[in-house]
Amino acid sequence: MTQTVPAHVAIIMDGNGRWAKKRHLAHTAGHRAGAQALKKLAPAVEKLGVKYLTVYAFSTENWKRPQEEVSALMKLIHEYIQQYIDDTKKNDMRIFIIGDKSRLEPELRRKIAELEATTETKPGLQVNIALNYGGRDEITRAARNLAKKTARGEIVPEDITETFFANQLDTGSMPYPDLLIKTGGEMRLSNFLLWKLAYTEIYVLDKFWPDFTINDMRKAIDWFNGRERRFGGR
């Protein structure tokens, strides 16, 4: 049977904390192992033929965590953004950050802008990293933008169709995610991509994120191929 490779895969990379706890390590060690797992996975996912990979790295609610964990995570994110900048010559991935960047440190924002600009024209896998991202926040920001455009007379309310609205969201006109993978075993969306996941197939596995490998991705894609997607039809 020929396999269909989903064009857009989204991942809730959950379970770093439990991974670390199991090993009697600090949370931060789990986050570090998680960041490494993503770095290793992305080129392999590209080889499978996936076009878009959207991963949840830090939510709008994660600021509620202890200050040491938040600052360690921000430091780690900064370090990895720098690594991705240093590696741009070695790979052909396009990297894009989704979420509300305005709350991030100016220096991190500058690095993000540099990474996005240097990879913008790359022909390979598009990796969207969700940073200070919340599904409700994304919809709220899109609504606010549309209200501003309407107030300025740039659009009229009738211009706001479903497609028009979708294009205002952080992933713009990219195809909707076909497959959502969540590690760590918990059956909830944790405020990820709420609008665009409406008809996405959801695959939850018990493994913690740092242990997720390309083999697990293959299994998820096999499972995806067995699904009958009806989109509300018969």
Catalytic positions:
14, 62
Check: CB of residue 38 under 8 Å from CB of residue 55. Answer: yes
Measured from the CB atom, the residue of 6 and 99 that comes closer to ligand IPE is 99
Strand partners, 56: 12, 130
Residue closest to 209 by CA, chosen among 60, 37, 83, 56: 37
Measured from the CB atom, the residue of 14 and 138 that comes closer to Mg ion is 14
Measured from the CB atom, the residue of 146 and 192 that comes closer to ligand IPE is 192
Asked whether position 180 contacts ligand IPE by CB under 6 A, the answer is: no
Closest approach, Cβ 223 to ligand IPE, in A, equals 21
Asked whether position 132 contacts ligand IPE by CB under 6 A, the answer is: no
Closest approach, Cβ 64 to ligand IPE, in A, equals 9
Structure tokens at 101: 């960047």
Residue showing the smallest CB distance to ligand IPE in the complex: 17
Return the SS3 of 181: strand
Instruction: Point out which span in 87-95, 135-143, 185-193, 197-205 binds ligand IPE (CB under 6 A).
Output: 185-193
Closest approach, Cβ 184 to ligand IPE, in A, equals 5
Asked whether position 78 contacts ligand IPE by CB under 6 A, the answer is: no
Taking CB atoms within 8 Å and a gap of at least 24, the contacts of 218-226 are 218/48, 220/9, 220/179, 220/181, 221/3, 221/5, 221/6, 221/48, 221/179, 222/3, 224/4, 224/6, 224/178, 224/179, 225/1, 225/3, 225/4
Amino acid identity for residue 195 in this structure? W
- Which residues of the shown chain bind ligand IPE in the complex (CB under 6 A)? 12-18, 56-59, 62, 73, 184, 186, 188, 190
